[in-house]
Amino acid sequence: MKDNPLVLVVDDECGDRFIIREALEQSGFDVVEAESGPEAMEAFDRLCPDLVLLDVFMPGMDGFEVCHRLREQPEGRLVPIVIITGTEDFEAIRTAYEAGATDFITKPINWLILTERIRYMLRANETARMLRRSRTLLQSAFDGISDPLYMMDSNLRVQVLNKASTVYFECSFSEAVGRACHEAFFSKRKICEDCQILDRDGGRNQRWTFERQGRMDPNKLEQVDVYTMQPFEEGTDGGMIVHIRDITKTKHLERELIQADKLASLGTLVSGVAHEINNPMGVITMNVPMLRDIWEQATGPVAEAYEQKPDFRVFNLEYPELQERISSLFAQVMDSTRRIKKIVGELKDFARQGTSDMNQRVDLNQSVETAISLTFNKIKRSTDRFSVSYAQSPIFVRGNAQKLEQVLINVLLNACEALQNNDQTLALRLETILPETARVVVEDEGCGMARDQLGQIMDPFFTTKRDQGGTGLGLSVSLGIIEDHGGSIEFEAEPGAGTVCTISLPLDASGQEDGSAG
């Protein structure tokens, strides 16, 4: 409170104003006078007094109207206003309070009571001003935080919340403050059954943190930090501050880093395994042709022995059948060795950490062939009706071959897992939409999906296979890869009617041969 608070005395009687002035100045107040309502309004605007002492009965604009008008001004909403009324004039007292008066005093005035009341009201007004300032600072601090942040007492009643919380919970300040969080935020009469904010053990931790699925958006992940506070009042439990952070992107990046680390480790492992496989494969590849040549040289004597002894048998086989069978076996062994070599090479290329160069000229025919080769066993176990339609000529796009193969593998695996029996078809085709677009279309006759799921399948961590170990990241990562290539992924599906996945990519502008599907 100021050393010499300024009091505006409003009274049309000059003698009354003089007496009031003398009493107040002797008690340490500064006084300014006004003899009418308009003059009081002008003086208030000019001087901003700390308190207004207002007589009721004045000609023209009476004290009630002056009080009412002062309360309508921003500067006058919180200034103490004391109304002077007649003895036991209850109607005037009621009207004074309705007009916005802080207090009243009756005539004849007891000067000691008046000065003490004024001091009390000024102290109370100063305390209220400091409280308002503290609350404003607290609210500003809360609003300065971009994440949802709110404070509750021990009964879970919301005391303060920031703007981010009103957006997050889709509520207003007035709807939330003073109400329990389950009522204000979720319109529930009881505490949420899955509430993790409360300390279930009954103790009071200084701080605890947990992660959860988004309360307002289930496709997000959140980290919730709960901080306990000192009691608001003596004899009560303390409250708590709750801070909610969206960690969806962070977790997404963490899992991508883990995946990248796994791929790097896989590359190291595959390189070692490939080396161990290639050594014996080299021996097989080198010796089988030699064995074949030896057999071809031996066929002459064997044929002569058969002519001389028609009942000549090897493994109970006559010579013509033996010759055909051994030639077929040699051909199968050579074909298998070539296939093993090709698979090992493709697996090494895919798992290698490699380069993130996005300016490679990639032949989609080759990328599809590699993806099918790496998923062939899964496709073979999932369906007896798999078909692929390559383009008649190379279809070139700009990007990263390894990343595109990663997308194709993911889409093919998802299609395989959607198939419910081996009679359902899985088809892949490549096509061009000249002059600018290449498309890979993967179509299955599997279980399909509902419309609401179709709108969420690209969201991070959304999966219908969580009980089978699904993370919900495959299609989200694939979408990011295709968008990095300037393309798009689209899905069409109906429950029980299968799914069509269309990957569209811009053709390489440096030149393109006719790539119509064949």
Token pair for residue 185?
């935020």
102-121: b (≥16 Cβ within 10 Å) or e: bbbebeeeeeeebbebbbeb
Q: Which pLDDT does position 353 carry in this prediction? A: 46
Helix (H, G, I), strand (E, B) or coil at 328: helix
User: Side-chain half-sphere of 331: how many Cα atoms within 13 Å?
Assistant: 6
Please give the Cα distance from 148 to 150 (Å, whole number).
7
pLDDT digits (tens, 9 = 90+) for 238-247: 788 999 999 8
Q: Which pLDDT does position 158 carry in this prediction? A: 92
Across residues 197-204, what is the average pLDDT?
55
Give yes or no for a contact between 40 and 56, defined as CB atoms under 8 angstroms apart: no
Residue 435 confidence class, pLDDT cut points 50, 70, 90? confident
Q: When comparing pLDDT for 346 and 248, which is higher?
A: 248
pLDDT digits (tens, 9 = 90+) for 452-504: 776 666 665 556 655 554 444 567 778 888 888 999 988 888 888 889 999 99
Please give the Cα distance from 427 to 432 (Å, whole number).
17
Across residues 196-200, what is the average pLDDT?
66
Indicate whether 324 pLDDT > 50. Answer: yes
CB-based contacts of 268, cutoff 8 Å, min separation 6: none
258-281: b (≥16 Cβ within 10 Å) or e: eeeeebeebbeebeeebeeeeeeb
User: Side-chain half-sphere of 35: how many Cα atoms within 13 Å?
Assistant: 6
pLDDT digits (tens, 9 = 90+) for 49-101: 999 999 988 888 999 999 999 999 988 888 999 988 875 678 888 888 899 99
pLDDT digits (tens, 9 = 90+) for 352-387: 545 567 788 899 999 999 999 888 888 999 999 999
Q: Which pLDDT does position 46 carry in this prediction? A: 92
Token pair for residue 354?
């490699």
Q: Please provide the average confidence, as pLDDT, over all residues in the chain.
A: 82
User: Side-chain half-sphere of 119: how many Cα atoms within 13 Å?
Assistant: 13
Please give the Cα distance from 345 to 518 (Å, whole number).
27
User: Side-chain half-sphere of 301: how many Cα atoms within 13 Å?
Assistant: 4
